[in-house]
């Protein structure tokens, strides 16, 4: 490819990278995107196809409190959303617990004695909370009490992260369980159990209690395939199968982004700005000259992930979108039912397709296992859980996802802040976005919002928006009112001319 200068180079074609590429192209900027995967765009939000069966890498609901994000989804994929009911349950000690909670069901499953202990533990936590909250365990115990923490949080969380809950930062709990209290959940569950509250939860209250969501009929990859096509329609470039090799800023402030393809051939992109959704640890190691905070960046850790999809003879095994597995007897952490996400994901009405999710570290025993061994393990564990007869499994497939989750250990915040401060001070035209790009457990809509605001910053020629203030619900905390939302909405509607000083030579 000729090394034609561009306004912006983007590292990664996930939700953040493609959002930025689309909005920049719409505003008249020239853009080149590099993507390591040779086939799929969308990153962890892609949809993989195997013999006509489609499955997600984790499952991705489409809902947001941010109207600009919803508008952008509708703009990119106007005719292919379906409304889906949410049903998820927790599996614990051979029983299923509906989520959102149903008070009488939970009491019946736990039994009067254990339920009493849970409520007493909760009351104790509220009357005498731990004032020194440092870990995930501290935060959850303060919110729910130690008994409920041990039943519904500890086992699953330690499966996901591969580390004890008392060594994890409280930040993760505060993000992922934000807005949910035991009292509120029990009251909501009690009202629904008695038929007193039939109003659907549309996600505008507590996100964890969402009861329905929109979903592309062929999976989330459908959204990002459409975004890719729109980027190409702006006559911009996406280089698939190209991995970042080096990133260097020259004396004029322009960037030289070097990438290699699978055959080792290199391409160099000359760009005025760089937007990176690459893992911060990886970005730091490829910056030239190396940042002084490289040791801190190198200490950032990631949790990897694999999905074992099983095709099973059955019209449908269970109605849930997914089931959380709080059981130490099996390694699986969550089971997805892809027909419940969208019937069009499963082409044969007599075959169910489920995805068993395993959390691991790249190179460990699970990650290094053969596909055949992983399919055998998933089949065995489905039987242990009582979810299917192993004889009915007709096939399977394995997808590995490296660096799926940035790890929130006790040192992560200081390490992220150190690298971020150095990048912002030394490289004003280098922008970090998205989940791994910011080492934050971002949802899809949050990742998109960080990209939207970064586009505004590039247009303004300064960091006028602090993207690090975007939270996991894709809300930008500045004024906390509708004016704030209107300001962000301009990121979608603004189609200004490219300033002369930013145009590529």
Query: What's the rounded Cα separation, in Å, for the pair 111 and 409?
Result: 35
- Judge contact between 255 and 274, C-beta under 8 A: yes
Query: What's the rounded Cα separation, in Å, for the pair 194 and 453?
Result: 45
Block means of pLDDT (10 residues each) for the chain, length 505 residues? 82 97 97 96 94 89 88 95 90 82 72 86 90 89 88 85 87 62 52 52 42 90 97 97 96 95 94 97 96 97 94 89 90 94 94 95 91 97 94 95 89 95 96 95 89 96 90 43 41 42 40
Q: Are strands 243-249 and 287-288 parallel, antiparallel or unpaired?
A: parallel
- Judge contact between 398 and 306, C-beta under 8 A: yes
Distance of CA 104 to the CA centre of its chain: 33
Query: What's the rounded Cα separation, in Å, for the pair 243 and 264?
Result: 10
Bridge partners (DSSP) of residue 48 are 55
Query: What's the rounded Cα separation, in Å, for the pair 433 and 16?
Result: 6
Helix, strand, or coil (residue 411): coil
Please give the model's pTM, rounded to 2 decimal places.
0.86
- Judge contact between 69 and 62, C-beta under 8 A: no
Give the H/E segment covering residue 269.
Answer: strand 266-276
Q: Where are the alpha helices (DSSP H) in 255-302?
A: 280-286, 294-298
Structure tokens at 497: 């001319």
Q: What is the phi/psi pair of residue 432, to 5°?
A: -100, 135
Helix, strand, or coil (residue 476): strand
Query: How far is the CA of 468 from the CAs of 421, 433, 445, 447, in angstroms?
Result: 12, 9, 14, 11
Query: What's the rounded Cα separation, in Å, for the pair 338 and 344?
Result: 9
What pLDDT was estimated at residue 502?
44
Helix, strand, or coil (residue 239): strand
Query: What's the rounded Cα separation, in Å, for the pair 241 and 36?
Result: 5
Query: How far is the CA of 186 from the CAs of 88, 107, 119, 189, 324, in angstroms?
Result: 16, 11, 11, 5, 19
- Judge contact between 274 and 11, C-beta under 8 A: yes
* HSE toward the beta carbon, residue 458, CA cutoff 13 A: 38
Query: What's the rounded Cα separation, in Å, for the pair 441 and 408?
Result: 9
What pLDDT was estimated at residue 477?
40
- Judge contact between 336 and 59, C-beta under 8 A: yes
Helix, strand, or coil (residue 172): helix
Handedness of CA 128, 133, 135, 139 (dihedral sign): positive
What pLDDT was estimated at residue 185?
54
143 CB-near residues (< 8 Å, 6+ apart): 125, 173, 177, 181, 182
Bridge partners (DSSP) of residue 168 are 409
- Residue carrying the six token digits 């008249």: 28
Query: What's the rounded Cα separation, in Å, for the pair 45 and 61?
Result: 10
Q: What is the phi/psi pair of residue 412, to 5°?
A: -60, -40
DSSP line for 109-154: HH-HHHHHHHHHHHHHHHHS--S---BHHHHHHHHH-HHHHHHHTH
- Which value, to the nearest 10 degrees, does the dihedral of the CA atoms of residues 468, 408, 447, 323 take? -150
């Amino acid at each position: 490819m000729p090394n034609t200068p561009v306004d912006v180079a983007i590292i990664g074609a996930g939700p953040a990278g493609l959002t930025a590429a689309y909005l920049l192209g719409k505003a008249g900027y020239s853009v080149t995107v590099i993507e390591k995967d040779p086939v799929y765009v969308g990153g962890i939000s892609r949809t993989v196809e195997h013999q006509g069966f489609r499955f997600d890498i984790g499952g991705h609901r489409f809902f947001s409190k941010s109207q600009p994000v919803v508008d952008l989804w509708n703009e990119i994929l106007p005719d292919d959303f379906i409304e889906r009911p949410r049903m998820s349950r927790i599996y614990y000690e051979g029983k299923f617990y509906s989520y959102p909670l149903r008070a009488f069901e939970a009491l019946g499953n736990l039994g009067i004695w254990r339920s009493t202990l849970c409520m007493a533990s909760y009351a104790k936590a509220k009357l005498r909370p731990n004032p020194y909250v440092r870990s995930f365990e501290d935060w959850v115990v303060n919110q729910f009490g130690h008994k409920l923490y041990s039943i519904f949080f500890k086992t699953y969380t330690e499966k996901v992260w591969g580390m004890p809950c008392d060594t994890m930062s409280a930040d993760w709990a505060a993000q992922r369980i934000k807005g949910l209290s035991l009292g509120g959940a029990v009251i909501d569950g009690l009202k629904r159990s008695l038929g007193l509250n039939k109003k659907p939860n549309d996600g505008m209250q507590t996100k964890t209690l969402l009861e329905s969501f929109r979903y592309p009929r062929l999976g989330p990859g459908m959204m990002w395939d459409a975004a890719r096509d729109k980027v190409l329609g702006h006559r911009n470039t996406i280089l698939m199968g190209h991995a970042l090799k080096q990133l260097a800023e020259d004396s004029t402030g322009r960037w030289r982004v070097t990438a290699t393809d699978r055959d080792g051939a290199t391409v160099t992109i000359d760009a005025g700005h760089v937007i990176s959704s690459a893992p911060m640890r990886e970005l730091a190691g490829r910056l030239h000259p190396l940042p002084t905070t490289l040791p801190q960046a190198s200490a950032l850790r990631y949790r990897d992930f694999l999905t074992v999809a099983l095709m099973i003879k059955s019209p449908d095994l269970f109605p849930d979108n997914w089931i959380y597995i709080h059981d130490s007897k099996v390694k699986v952490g969550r089971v997805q039912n892809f027909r419940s996400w969208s019937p069009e994901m499963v082409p044969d009405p007599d075959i169910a397709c489920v995805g068993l999710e395993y959390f691991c570290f790249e190179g460990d025993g699970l990650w290094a296992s053969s596909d055949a061994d992983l399919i055998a393990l998933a089949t065995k564990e489905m039987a242990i859980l009582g979810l299917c007869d192993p004889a009915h499994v007709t096939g399977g497939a394995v997808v590995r996802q490296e660096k799926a989750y940035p790890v929130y250990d006790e040192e992560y915040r200081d390490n992220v802040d150190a690298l971020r401060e150095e990048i912002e001070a030394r490289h004003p035209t280098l922008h970090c976005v998205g989940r791994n790009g910011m080492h934050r457990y971002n949802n899809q809509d949050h990742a998109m919002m960080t990209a939207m605001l970064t586009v505004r910053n590039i247009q303004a020629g300064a960091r006028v928006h602090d993207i690090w203030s975007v939270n996991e619900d894709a809300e930008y905390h500045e004024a906390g009112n509708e004016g704030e939302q209107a300001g962000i909405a301009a990121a979608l509607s603004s189609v200004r001319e490219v300033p002369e000083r930013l145009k590529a030579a």
